[in-house]
Amino acid sequence: MRLSERFSSALEYAARLHSTQARKGTPIPYVAHLLAVSSLVLEHGGDEDEAIAALLHDAVEDQGGAETAAEIRRRFGDRVTDIVLGCTDTDVFPKPPWRPRKEAHLERLRSAPFSVLLVAAADKLHNARTLLGEYRQQGEQVWMRFNGGREGTLWYYRATLELLRQRAAGSLVDELTRVVADLEALSGHRG
C-alpha cells in the first residue's frame, strides 16, 4: 500500500498538536508514541485511514476535546474521526476520575468496530512495551507516574487484553498478551 498526502498531512498535524507534550515521566517527544502506534497498525494490515487515526488517537483526549474532533473530521473525514473517537476515553477537561473513565471506555470498546480495536490494540501494545522497558530500568518507582498505580494499571491492561482477545484476536493481541504477562511476572502481580 502506498500512503498518500493525507497521511503526511496527518503526521504534520499530529506533530504540531502534540509538540509540547512528552511521554509521561520522560523527555521523549510524544510524537514518538504516535509514530509507533501508526507503524504497528500498518504492520498488522491497517489501511491509510486506520494509520491516520493511529497518529491522531490521543488528539481529542489530550489536545482540545470536541473542537479537535471537529477539526479532524474536517481535515480527514468521518471514518478517521470515528476511529479516533472510539479510542478516546474522554473529551472533557479536567478529565473525570480515572477508574470510572477507564471502565466506561472498556464498555464502549465491547461494541466498537474492528478499526477501533486495531488502533486500540496497537496503542496498548506500544504503551505496554514501553512500560515493561521502563520497569526493567526503574523498578517499582515507575508506577508512581500512573494514575491507576500498579494495581489499577495492570487491571486496565488485563481487562483490555481480555476484551481484545474476544473481539480482535491476532498476532498484535498475542504480542500484547506476552508483554502484559512479562510485566505482571516482573512486578510480582497476581492477576
Whole-angstrom distance, CA of residue 38 vs CA of residue 87: 13
Q: State the CB neighbour count (10 A cutoff) for residue 98.
A: 16
Closest CA to 117 of 65, 72, 162, 67: 162
Q: Which residues contact 34 (CB under 8 A, 6 or more apart)?
A: 14, 15, 18, 54, 55, 56, 57, 58
Query: Which of 49, 50, 58, 61 is flagged as catalytic?
Result: 61
62 is catalytic: yes
- Backbone Cα Rg of the chain: 16
175 is catalytic: no
DSSP string, 8-44: HHHHHHHHHHTTT-B-TTSSSBTHHHHHHHHHHHHHT
Query: Which of 62, 91, 134, 175 is flagged as catalytic?
Result: 62
The three state secondary structure string of 128-175 is HHHHHHHHHHHHHHHHHHCCCHHHHHHHHHHHHHHHHHHHCCCHHHHH
Indicate which residues carry an active-site annotation. Answer: 61-62
